[in-house]
């Protein structure tokens, strides 16, 4: 039992250390990704939108919707647009929504778990659909994922038209039934790169960081490394102190158990001595012709079973003892005619030492 408690405590402390290191690592990755995003130019106004809904396909520009049904109609719309970046909006039943939770971990591991979970939950084959998702970290460290799955047949020809007219997907959006945005992301299939590719290629990130920001970035990374070292050292000291505390608690528990066993033995011995004293007193008190079949003591209750010429005389004699009270028959008195004796069962309450 002690070993199990020690192992549990050590595992808990180690898990807390791992969670802290993971959060710091993810924080550094997020900071680098933010620097990379800051180096990109943001559009001055919201881009046009390609809307895919239950009614078909449309181009939304300045609150005006222009429907199209095939690639040639879309090509005409794209050719008339000066903007190079457009959003794709999935509304209605054009996408399948999924919600689930994955455990905490480094970003790349979390992404792999999310992709595996989507592949498992999707009703379509992997080569028949695309998906995009967002994840939010919960208070307990897990990641709550919102995802949307779309069929390739509804988006491939749109992306081909984009490529032919040198257009790019700015964001993929999923709207709820009431028209409100449910999730907005830059999906990997819109750029041809894997999700968070920039996070997995430090050299690429370094080239995108302006020179004036590189020294602060190096300082931040050194600070992060120093923080990690301090956290690890503190975790080791904490684990050692916690292990010693667990060992001390185990020792105290063993001593308490030993003391409890000793008290139980003492109580048993005292009970045995009380029974011997009772037998001695009854042997002196009861007259000849009375013989006892059983004497039982449970807590403060005394039960005497036996035979005698007069059961009433036995109760009268027992009443003379100072240590007995509430003397009464536990069952009706019966007479054994073969021995001309009365069989009795007498109950009493022990109130102290018998004298």
Q: 223-266, pLDDT tens digit by residue?
A: 888 888 787 777 777 777 788 888 888 888 888 888 888 887 77
How many alpha carbons fall within 13 Å on the CB side of residue 347? 10
Residues 6+ apart with CB under 8 A from 54: 91, 92, 93, 94
Please provide residue 264's backbone torsions phi and psi, each rounded to the nearest 5 degrees: -65, -40
pLDDT level of residue 34 (50, 70, 90 thresholds): low
| 52 and 187 both lie in a single domain | yes
- Relative to beta strand 49-53, strand 181-185 is unpaired
| 299 and 183 both lie in a single domain | no
| 58 and 199 both lie in a single domain | yes
Residue finishing a domain among 206, 236, 271: 206
Of 336, 337, 335, 318, the C-alpha closest to 327 is 318
Please indicate, yes or no, if residue 66 is contained in any of the structural domains.
yes
How many alpha carbons fall within 13 Å on the CB side of residue 168? 9
176: left (phi over 0), alpha (psi -120 to 50) or beta: beta
State the pLDDT at residue 98. 92
Please provide residue 255's backbone torsions phi and psi, each rounded to the nearest 5 degrees: -65, -40
Residue finishing a domain among 161, 177, 206: 206
Query: Is the pTM here over 0.75, yes or no?
Result: no
Q: Taking 60 as the threshold, does the pLDDT of residue 59 lie above it?
A: yes
Six token digits for residue 89 = 């909006």
| 149 and 54 both lie in a single domain | yes
- How many domains in the chain? 2
């Amino acid at each position: 039992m002690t070993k199990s408690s020690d192992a549990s405590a050590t595992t808990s402390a180690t898990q807390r250390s791992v969670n802290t290191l993971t959060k710091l690592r993810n924080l550094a990755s997020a900071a680098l990704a933010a620097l990379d995003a800051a180096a990109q130019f943001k559009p001055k106004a919201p881009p046009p939108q390609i809307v895919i809904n239950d009614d078909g396909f449309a181009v939304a520009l300045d609150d005006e919707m222009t429907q199209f049904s095939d690639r040639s109609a879309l090509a005409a719309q794209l050719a008339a647009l000066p903007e190079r970046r457009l959003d794709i909006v999935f509304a209605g039943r054009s996408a399948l929504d999924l919600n689930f939770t994955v455990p905490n971990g480094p970003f790349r591991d979390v992404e792999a778990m999310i992709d595996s979970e989507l592949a498992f939950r999707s009703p379509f084959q992997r080569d028949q659909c695309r998906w995009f998702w967002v994840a939010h970290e919960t208070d307990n460290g897990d990641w709550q994922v919102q995802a949307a799955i779309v069929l390739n047949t509804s988006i491939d020809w749109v992306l081909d038209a984009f490529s032919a007219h040198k257009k790019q997907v700015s964001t993929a959006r999923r709207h709820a039934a009431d028209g409100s945005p449910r999730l907005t992301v830059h999906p990997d299939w819109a750029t041809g790169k894997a999700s968070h590719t920039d996070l997995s290629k430090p050299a690429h990130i370094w080239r995108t960081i302006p020179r004036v920001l590189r020294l602060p970035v190096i300082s931040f990374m050194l600070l992060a490394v120093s923080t990690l070292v301090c956290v690890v050292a503190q975790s080791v000291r904490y684990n050692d102190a916690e292990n010693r505390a667990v060992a001390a608690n185990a020792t105290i528990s063993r001593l308490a158990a030993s003391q409890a066993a000793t008290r139980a033995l003492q109580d048993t011995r005292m009970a045995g001595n009380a029974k011997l004293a009772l037998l001695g007193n009854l042997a002196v008190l009861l007259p000849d012709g009375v013989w006892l079949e059983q004497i039982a003591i449970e807590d403060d209750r005394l039960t005497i079973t036996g035979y005698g010429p007069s059961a009433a005389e036995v109760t009268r004699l027992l009443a003379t003892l100072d240590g007995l009270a509430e003397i009464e028959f536990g069952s009706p008195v019966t007479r054994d005619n073969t021995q001309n004796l009365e069989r009795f069962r007498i109950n009493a309450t022990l109130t102290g030492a018998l004298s």
